[in-house]
Amino acid sequence: MGASVIGFGMAVPDRVLANAELEEMLDTTDEWIRTRTGIHERRIAAPDEATATFATAAGAQALKSAGLLPDDLDLVMVSTCTPDFPVPGSAPLVQNALGAARAGAFDLNAGCTGFVYGLATEKGYVDSGIAKYVLVCGSDTLSRITNYEDRTTAVLFGDGAGAVVVGASDSGTDLGPFTFGCDGSKVDWLWQPGGGSARPATEDSVTEGAHTIHMHGQDVYKNACDRMTEAAKEVLGDEPLDSIDLVVAHQANGRIVRTVAQRLGLTKEQVVDNIASYGNNSAASIPIALAEACASGRLREGMRVLVVAFGAGFSWGAGLLTWGVS
């Protein structure tokens, strides 16, 4: 038996921030946002909600889907760039909230690529025999680090979580191969410069907006299109592109997803696209899209599914999933 995905879950806030509301806050229009991003609305966390809130809810769904109890888990991992606290990570909060008393717990931060990194990491734990069942969550609360006076970023980001259970199984969704890359020379093209050990929080750093996302939009767009296309081709190796039944890409921007699909010669029907409803919710976007596709019956046994992402760092990665019984 190899590492397989055997359960899915997702959770998003109730609060909807539609483009019409952003029109009142920014120098923008609904048409401008839709045309350039494909986003109609996004979900925003309530004051008493945070990254662990959504990861816990998505994780509970994934456990139920897998037919497991919290005590069955050996490990809880949360991919996030917006943990509830600088220390500890969000994963211990999720482990405790779920009642997974036996499980170890840790966070992984690879920006928007975090869930793909997480899947590969947990596949290693299961395949090696270190763990039998692990929970992989992608969860982010980007509204807390978004500057709602900056039109280039305010229209993009939302909050939420998706989760999967990875376990040793001969009937679930098989994982791999994977490929990854990073260009650390461009970290300041997409980052939150304040709040870490290099630039701790001070009155000046808050005033200067160092604790919100800063982005070189055109550079991110070009690199995302190039790297996601390259990663998809690399992970396929000698397999032809027409061996892929469905692509679940990080929902960074509707134009990015469409460009990558066109470069790969994919039709609209072969690409999952839910960015209109959720916006870009970083590491949560791929597991949310997978959970929705699974619930709708869009994913069928035997399908070959490509997951591909690009994010801060700059990081990128891709993986192949052979769909099984879930």
User: Which residues form the catalytic set?
Assistant: 112, 250, 280
Between the alpha carbon of residue 59 and those of residues 93, 157, 166, the distances in Å are 12, 22, 12
Burial class (CB in 10 A: 0-12, 13-18, 19+), 267: exposed
DSSP 8-class letter at 280: B
Q: What is the DSSP string of 105-164?
A: EEEE--GGGHHHHHHHHHHHHHHTTS-SEEEEEEEEEGGGG--TT-HHHHTTB-EEEEEE
Residue with tokens 């806030």: 13
Which residues, including other chains, have CB under 8 Å from residue 45's CB and lie 6 or more apart? 13, 15, 53, 54, 141, 143, 144, 159
CA 292 to chain centre: 14
Tell me phi and psi for residue 157, to 5 degrees. -100, 145
Between the alpha carbon of residue 272 and those of residues 108, 275, 285, 308, 315, the distances in Å are 25, 9, 11, 12, 21
Tell me phi and psi for residue 136, to 5 degrees. -115, 115
